[in-house]
Chain A
């Protein structure tokens, strides 16, 4: 448990209600320490799951002597190992994530939303005795903090998330590959992004690497309501947030076509995610992050 929560994105009083919840995985994982998550290893402790023939040289402590006595056959008892969770929170720090901030309406940008969500998740994961790390993604990997379970680690992660700054970037696959190369554990990769990138196929190609490693990949697709539908008004001068230039137009003239394009993009992200064995969740920043987190944890807990 972190000694102090310095990050403005960690609202302790709000997270108190979620402390009893645990972030669970749907796959067996590899952890560093014994935990409460099903390990990919079938060890000699934990919950019995099966028998198998004894092979010479195996640890005799796992031999089921009672069965040997009754039947004269040597069987080894298998138990499900439980281990702790290694979760890496990957946050998209591209310029497009800055969209949506509106102080007058207390509306969060996608990045702020991701910061709140990631900070809360890190808190929840840490409270569950699991290890959490963070990766900041742009054109390249900006920061990678491997999962850790100490309170100071969690605080460090939250500080890192708080100080996160965006950069104009339209590619993310490279950064993901860097994460893949710099990590070894088969944990959980939780990617929070708006997926407004030019190399969407490459991104999912990189995610496939994680899946090949048997890591669980969870995709949080952040969508701002003003992205889903263009704002009302006669004429706008839209300025790209990633040095894409300027477009003058009347939203009314392209509203429907834009919506079609955006939905097609979202559908493509979802299709790619699901087809690559990733867990996909589209999150609107209009929904409070605590509500989103609660629903996510409830769903994960099965």
Chain B
């Protein structure tokens, strides 16, 4: 197997040159009768052995040198019989898988990996008698040119020449499954040779979990890597997000995650442009690591703000991931309501502690109180659970339910409706009425709101006392912000009262954010459509939590979590299927239109009326940029399609891993065109060059030793 087989042809011709030159330049003998032929004969016999040895040596060494140069230029892969090296006459079905994911756009010496891969794939799509082939363009949704392998190679090559790079992640397993299906469609024959040739950069992030065992047994698998010898250094913006809600008039705390996939630390500067607002974030990003840059951005306009984050002053292998689109839903200050039967004057009480916890966090709590006062005609920012006003409930962003007593059915239904509309509810449960209320709320949603645990009043003989927290999910809000100090803070907390709980079978463990030492749930979350519901199982008046320094930020984080749930601006991965539920503003799909980042281009997906709202669903997200849903020209929803972060890591899977771990019992041969090193087996050319030099030196030595 040679990288440049044409060089062999040239080499063979060139190898004949010394022989041809030898014969062409050989002097034409002059015929001459000679009387002393015996002496000539003796002299020739004496000399000829020597000269013939010299000529043979020189000619052999010279020819060998030319052949070795040709072989070196041809770049052989010793020890690896390529697909073309096997029996040419046998019937074969060959599937060529070409990686068209974003990482193939990495440039090395000015040439994209994809452009290196295309001729490689084309070489394996040459017509051969008895062979049928198919081509799979492997991106997020691998597609084959034909449904069955075909001998129409010209179409395959045309499709190959038209193939374009996609800003997507490679779905490795789907591609292998598709290749397996194509091969399986061929009639089973013991003489049929099955070949799968994959041309890719074999990114570690994509190929690390590839499973070749899905391919039919006996399939020869050849992996042709176009990745360079050393991973190309690359900087990328991996995520753009905001801490908390984006509120008008309040600085947005931006989080930009930057990945440095190189061996040296880099100082990076990211410019974030969002509408008319601009911010620059700078920081040091360590070698082969990710770092999160933070900064504030003042937003002055409400609504969907779109923009992009861009790495400044960076010129790396993959330019596409230096820009990342982002979108934020900038909303007015949130409106909160406290639903409780406790009077505002009762101190201390659970409602009092909640109210006091919210006030320092929510700088606009005064406005909330004012608004609520206006709505309720009450001086307190409290709502009576027995008489919940539908309009007031509809105008708030978050309901906090504390000591509501037994809720009437109407209130239960209203709470369920609030959740459906994408609002958040924080329920502080502490007594038996709360357990009943929670069951009723779940029932009001026809079981769609699924708590991870069922709450029940504690047994009379087993009072809940001196409980402490265990199994806290430290990396999730609301505990995330405490970082390493969380264990020390939790150590001092002691709880009494609250409800017993029993974990629901099949519930997600991650929905239980913290537990007491008796395995009852302390904090649990559940979602229903766009809304969120969090249960805080604690009698605040009977525990030391409100007195803890942890308390205020803890409640604040909870509130932020619930406020951000409803209309969180999101990202979708380019090329991936998506399904997005539009906010309640979207009344009917027929009234909506869609707009993409580039005018005139169709937007992927369709809008359809779902039972709970409008669903935006598509099989494959479009290219990078912001996509918006418009109601009468006004954006009511936006989402950023981004390049998957995994595509930015250009490190490759070592050949040994393929051959030893991922092969799945199949015969896998790995070959790299550009990589050097023992694992790549293509160092033979350098040895051939050395051998060529030795031949030339040998020729000189031969000429010298024969005194020529």
Contact = CB atoms under 8 A, between A and B. Distances in A.
Contacts of A262: 36, 39
Contacts of A239: 31-34, 37
A248 B37 CA distance: 11
Interface string B24-57: 0011111111111111111110111001000000
B31 A237 contact: yes
A265 interface: yes
B32 A238 contact: yes
A241 B28 contact: no
Contacts of B29: 235-237, 248
Contact of A241 (B27, B31, B34, B51): B34
Contact of B27 (A96, A98, A250): A250
A234 B40 CA distance: 15
Given A235-B28, A236-B29, A227 B36 contact: yes
B32 A241 contact: no
Given A254-B44, A257-B47, A231 B32 contact: yes
A239 B38 CA distance: 11
A245 B46 CA distance: 18
Interface residues of A, number: 36
Interface in A212-233: 224, 227, 230-231, 233
Given A247-B44, A258-B40, A241 B33 contact: yes
Contacts of A110: 35
A247 B34 CA distance: 10
B708 to A, nearest CB: 10
Contact of A244 (B38, B46, B48): B38
A249 interface: yes
A294 B48 CA distance: 44
A253 B36 contact: no
Contact of B35 (A224, A230, A236, A257): A224
Contacts of A233: 27, 30
A286 interface: no
Contacts of B26: 235
A257 B43 contact: yes
B701 to A, nearest CB: 20
Nearest to A265: B39
A194 B48 CA distance: 27
A2 interface: no
Interface string B370-391: 0000000000000000000000
B39 A249 contact: no
Given A99-B35, A194-B35, A254-B47, A235 B40 contact: no
Main SS of chain A's interface residues? mixed
Nearest to B51: A253
Contacts of B44: 247, 249, 254
A297 interface: no
A261 B37 contact: no
A116 to B, nearest CB: 18
A247 B40 contact: yes
Contacts of A227: 34-36
Contact of B43 (A96, A99, A244, A261): A261
Contacts of A235: 26-30
Given A96-B35, A257-B46, A238 B27 contact: no
A240 interface: yes
A79 B34 CA distance: 54
A45 to B, nearest CB: 49
A238 B34 contact: yes
A247 B42 CA distance: 10
Contacts of A96: 35-36
A238 B44 CA distance: 11
Interface string A98-117: 11100000000010000000
Contacts of A95: 35
A199 to B, nearest CB: 13
Interface in A105-149: 110
A151 interface: no
A209 interface: no
B36 A236 contact: no
Given A96-B35, A99-B35, A196-B36, A254 B43 contact: yes
Contacts of B42: 261
Interface string A162-189: 0000000000000000000000000000
A299 to B, nearest CB: 27
Interface string B3-35: 000000000000000000000001111111111
Contact of A196 (B38, B43, B48): B38
A175 to B, nearest CB: 18
Contacts of B48: 249
B36 to A, nearest CB: 5
Nearest to A245: B37
Interface in B96-127: none
22 contacts: A99-B35, A100-B35, A224-B35, A227-B35, A227-B36, A230-B40, A235-B26, A235-B30, A236-B30, A237-B30, A237-B32, A238-B32, A241-B33, A241-B37, A242-B35, A247-B40, A247-B41, A253-B47, A254-B47, A257-B46, A258-B36, A265-B39
Interface of B: 26-44, 46-48, 51
Given A231-B32, A258-B36, A262-B39, 7 more contacts: A99-B33, A224-B35, A230-B40, A233-B27, A234-B27, A237-B29, A257-B47
Q: Top 5 nearest A-B pairs by Cβ distance?
A: A234-B27, A96-B35, A99-B35, A254-B43, A237-B29
